[in-house]
Structure 1
Amino acid sequence: MIERILETNDTIAKVLLSTTNAPQPFTAKEILALKDIEKVLAFFQQASEKISGGKYVTISLIIPMAYGLFRKIDSVSPLLQTLQGKTMTKILMESIKKRLSIYEQRTVCMMATLLDPRFKKNGFQHSSNAELGATFFENELAKYPVKESLINLPVAPDTSSQDSLFDFLGESN
């Protein structure tokens, strides 16, 4: 919606100015605020499309997605020009920490991320959580007897380089 407003703002302003009893068009400050908000919300749109792309939500995406959103919002924050944009990023980063970062400590999510060949230990914000998940996974595996035959399973193609939300995967911590 904000994208469309920004794209059509000039035309809307001309119509509003030529129409009696019409509301005032957006001010320059309001347009700047909308541009800042659009920059931030674009990451959430990308995340929503990534999660909604399949027939089911992949649990292994939760931890890297939260970390990717946090990093992207943090990186765009210094580029924002308005108080509204900066306030929005602060609130969103706090919400991501509060609502999404907790999944990094949940066993099922940790194990799913560790087992996903796109992410493994690199999908975690905190390497200690990745190590904790790996230790838990090793302890679980130790409960079962080892079979001699090894099965060669195909590895999923690496799609992480195509998704900018996961661009942190190539970095070393």
Structure 2
Amino acid sequence: MGRPVLKMIIEVDTRWNSTFNMLERLYQLREPVGAALASLKTDITPPTALEYEAVRDALDVLGPFRQATVELSGEKRVSASKVKSSLFMLNHAVTSKLEGLNSNLTKQLGDSLVRRVREQAVHLESISVMTMPTLLDPRFKKLGFLSQGKLQEAVSRLKSECATVIRSSGLQSASTNTPPAQLPASSEAGQSTNNSK
């Protein structure tokens, strides 16, 4: 059909993005696939226009997840701040796509994904180890939080920890700046007479 020769992609159970790649290739080659299935003697029924529309919508909903997967897996060390902010961005991206979906099946998929992302984000917002890096990362700061309540908790916890560090460093510096205690005058006189002998 005058197109580049591309092979179909088969999904691998252990890699979710292989399912995305399979659907993407199927949608990309829908016309050649339809022509091939029509000319071959096979029991396989070609996908309908509604099914292709559902595939297109599913790719649209899953696209942000693929981008996040590529982004996070492409780094040797993923910072904790990027995990929460990725969930926040996934929530925003998928929520904004839900209104434009035509297929009920993909609307259910999108709703389910948004619910799971929010559950994970709320869970991570309760863990100090995950909230502090997000709050301290200059790229994200307060933008990486879904809940304003959890944001305020994280800010209060950070202020409290900073105050504790400042107090403890103030006590240490005060103890190192204190001059050594002076000896009483009688002992100084005794030392000077001992030194003169």
Report the TM-score range of the alignment, normalised by the length of the smaller protein. Answer: 0.7 to 0.9
Which of 131, 138, 147 aligns to 1:126? It is 147
Q: Please tell me whether residue 107 in structure 1 is matched to residue 132 in structure 2.
A: no
- Tell me, yes or no, if the aligned pair for 1:111 and 1:137 is still in contact at 8 Å: yes
Mapped to 1, the partners of 2:93 and 2:60 lie a distance apart of 10
CA distances 1:113-170 after superposition (whole Å, capped 9, x unpaired): 011110111221122222211211111122222599xxxxxxxxxxxxxxxxxxxxxx
Per the alignment, residue 6 of structure 1 pairs with 27
Mapped to 2, the partners of 1:97 and 1:114 lie a distance apart of 18
Which of 58, 69, 85 aligns to 2:79? It is 58
Per the alignment, residue 141 of structure 1 pairs with 162
Report how far residue 90 of structure 1 moved: 1.0
Q: Please give the residue correspondences for 1:9-158 in structure 2 after superposition, counting only pairs within 5 Å.
A: 9-144=30-165, 145-146=169-170
Alignment gaps of 5+ in structure 1: 149-173
Mapped to 1, the partners of 2:61 and 2:28 lie a distance apart of 17
Q: Give the structure with higher Rg (CA).
A: 2
Question: Letter of the aligned partner of 1:75 in structure 2?
Answer: S
Mapped to 2, the partners of 1:122 and 1:17 lie a distance apart of 52
Mapped to 2, the partners of 1:65 and 1:7 lie a distance apart of 28
Mapped to 1, the partners of 2:46 and 2:117 lie a distance apart of 34
Alignment gaps of 5+ in structure 2: 1-21, 174-197
Mapped to 1, the partners of 2:101 and 2:116 lie a distance apart of 19
Mapped to 2, the partners of 1:108 and 1:31 lie a distance apart of 43
Report how far residue 22 of structure 1 moved: 4.1
Number of equivalenced pairs: 148
Question: Letter of the aligned partner of 1:73 in structure 2?
Answer: V
* % identical aligned pairs: 28
